[in-house]
Amino acid sequence: MSYQFITSAKLPTRHGEFDIHIFENDEGQEHVMLTVGLSVVDQTTAPSSDDTSSQRPIPLVRIHSECLTGDAFSSLKCDCGPQLNTAMQAIQESGCGAILYLRQEGRGIGLTNKIRAYALQDQGHDTLDANLMLGLPADARIYDMCGPMLAYIGVNAVRLITNNPNKVAYLTEHGIDVVERVPLLVGVNDMNAEYLATKRDRMGHMLDKVFNTAIHLNK
């Protein structure tokens, strides 16, 4: 599947101003990149010896899959909203970084199936089993749009904000040097503690054994 850049603009937020870039795949699906301190690379010319990308710090990058319930509605069932806002704040404070906001709701199963999975979770099933009971994969996300998005801003090395080893592995396998993994454990509450424990124990996410010792990037 191919991806192409569509348009850019300034985006003022409560965390600070970002540049917002829209990309689209050949199925018409839109993905978003927010950047701070990163210039667009001219794809038609070879890099010059005075290329500023070689002089800037390694950017702080967050790959964030869309979560309408968490990002927009402040759901307490997950940690997605706090993760997004904490990453945005951290990138603003660093002065150099990007959010790759991928339109793959519900770990890639879509909003309707995500709510169906929520209903099963309400009956006592964990987040992984709920997907499987619906005949869906535990995690259907893909990251093949990340390479073109990072190439657009000339990034081939990152400090990656993530607890998910799959994201580290994907970038590494596709030529992006992950020089540092920055842990992100925020938004923990009584409603999502079991969800986070499932991600840690059954999905391999690198989370603290004791959630109340979470590292907050914005402290």
pLDDT at 216: 39
Give binding residues for Zn(2+) as ranges: 67, 78, 80
Q: Average pLDDT of 183-211?
A: 78
Question: What domains, with CATH codes, occur in the chain?
Answer: 3-104+141-203 (3.40.50.10990)
Q: Which amino acid is at 68?
A: L
**Which residues does the annotation mark as catalytic?**
139, 141
In this prediction the pTM is 0.86
Provide the pLDDT for residue 64: 96
State the binding site.
62-67, 78, 80, 83, 105-107, 127, 162, 167
In the block, tokens 């793959």 appear at: 104
pLDDT tens column, 119-130 = 998 998 988 889
Q: How far apart are CA 218 and CA 144, in angstroms?
A: 29
Mean of pLDDT values over 60-69: 96
Q: What is the pLDDT of residue 55?
A: 73
The answer, yes or no, to whether residue 214 has pLDDT greater than 80, is: no
**Please, which residues have CB within 8 angstroms of residue 96's CB and are 6 or more apart in sequence?**
36, 37, 38, 56, 57, 58, 59, 60
Look at residue 23 in the predicted model and tell me its pLDDT. 96
> Given a cut of 80, is residue 192 above it in pLDDT?
yes
Of the pLDDT bands very low, low, confident and very high (cuts 50, 70, 90), residue 212 is very low
Distances in Å between the Cα of 137 and the Cα atoms of 162, 167, 205, 206 are 21, 17, 17, 20
